[in-house]
Amino acid sequence: MEKASHLSVIVDLSPTQWHLSAQASNQYPLSIETFLSQLLAFLNAHIASKHENTLVVFGALPGKSVMLYSSTELLTDDMPPLDANSYLPFKLVDSTVVRRIMDELDAIGKLEEEPPCALVGAVTKALCYINRITHHSSTTTGVAEDPTTLHDPRILILSVSPDLSSSYIPIMNAIFSAQKLAYVCKVYGPDTVFLQQAAHLTNGSYIYLERRDALLQNLIMSFLSPPFIRKILAVPKQDKIDFRAACFCHKNIVDVGFVCSVCLSIFCQPLPVCSTCRTKFPINTLKRLNAARPAITPASSRMGVPLANLNNATMPRSTSTPVPNGMSNLR
């Protein structure tokens, strides 16, 4: 029997980035109004695919993340006026999502300095929501859940913001949690390093936002099919993944990093003492690593080179004792 499918959608609602996206100087401008009309058509298509399908929409706003819509937690205040000419589930999604987004954007107002978009918080809430609806406790329900009714969960991230290097550790922690729980993350947005890795690590898809006027077509072709159907479909994927990381000292994305052999922290330059675990490194090691540092050149993307590829050093394995007083050169 075909399983029901759950879709968690995370929408980037940064006012600054959407203002830039709507500029007429762009080759393919996309305003938030046009984006919402195409997004709602995609959400309605997901609901129409199967009656048991569930949906939740989270908004990543500056400094906070909120739930915009949930098909399993409908409130009486969210019920739209009855209209004989519209399908009620579609009307409910459209009116609730648009109203909540407009309310949140109006509440933000004009800020002198816009805080970063809380994408990590939205991803974390999506993981918690999926875990709650897919793992019902038998002590609460009293009966075992039928395996054919279990949801097939996936997360879709729609982003317009660039990478925020300071969120590297939180976003990777969230992605590793999704990977461990076998939740598929799909990303549609600009050229971002961390979201590329998120889609790759969870066996999802990353689609670069190039033709913004073809948003709905890309959403339906690439993200509408549930995971069990995607196994037999030729779904577009990103061939090259940028595996660069952000250093722990300055939160910059680095091409060449130096890894502490004790706690695996990444630094953009050799340090005498690890700022994370306080391990002290030998002077000779620091001199050798400083001498091996490449000349300063414009930053270039190291595409397709996994983070675990090390040069002139061996990283400690989790089953062995860490090598003390050592820092590895990461390229």
Do 164 and 16 fall within a single domain? yes
Among the candidates 204, 230, 256, a domain finishes at: 230
Strand order across the beta sheet in which 64-70 lies: 64-70, 54-61, 5-12, 152-158, 184-189, 206-208
Do 307 and 164 fall within a single domain? no
Please list the pLDDT of the chain residue by residue as tens digits (331 residues). 577 889 999 999 999 889 888 888 888 888 999 999 999 999 999 999 888 889 999 999 998 999 999 988 766 565 666 676 778 888 889 999 999 999 998 888 766 777 888 999 999 999 999 988 877 543 354 554 544 445 678 899 998 888 777 787 888 889 899 988 888 888 887 778 888 888 888 888 888 877 777 889 888 888 888 777 777 877 777 667 777 887 878 777 888 888 888 887 888 888 888 888 888 888 888 888 888 776 655 444 444 333 333 333 333 333 333 444 455 555 5
Distance, CA of 313 to CA of 20 (rounded, Å): 44
Looking at residue 312, its pLDDT comes to 35
Q: What tokens were used for 120? A: 């990590």
Do 67 and 189 fall within a single domain? yes
Do 184 and 272 fall within a single domain? no
> Amino acid identity of 313?
A
Write the DSSP symbol of residue 19: H
Whether residue 140 lies inside any domain: the answer is: yes
Do 83 and 119 fall within a single domain? yes
Longest dimension (CA), the chain: 79
- Structural domain count of the chain: 2
Whether residue 49 lies inside any domain: the answer is: yes
3-state secondary structure of 3: coil
Whether residue 236 lies inside any domain: the answer is: no
3-state secondary structure of 245: strand
Among the candidates 182, 209, 230, a domain finishes at: 230
Do 253 and 195 fall within a single domain? no
Whether residue 67 lies inside any domain: the answer is: yes
Q: Determine the structural domain holding residue 87 and report its residue range.
A: 5-230
The kind and range of the H/E element at 309 are none
Whether residue 248 lies inside any domain: the answer is: yes
Do 51 and 171 fall within a single domain? yes
Do 196 and 248 fall within a single domain? no
Among the candidates 200, 230, 260, a domain finishes at: 230
Looking at residue 41, its pLDDT comes to 95
Whether residue 237 lies inside any domain: the answer is: no
Do 252 and 218 fall within a single domain? no
Do 73 and 211 fall within a single domain? yes
Whether residue 68 lies inside any domain: the answer is: yes
Whether residue 238 lies inside any domain: the answer is: no
CATH of the domain at 179: 3.40.50.410
Q: For 62-175, where are the E strands, in sequence order?
A: 64-70, 152-158
Looking at residue 327, its pLDDT comes to 55
3-state secondary structure of 88: helix
pTM for this prediction: 0.75
Looking at residue 111, its pLDDT comes to 66
Do 144 and 286 fall within a single domain? no
Do 303 and 224 fall within a single domain? no
Q: Which of 70, 75, 62 is nearest to 105 (CA)?
A: 62
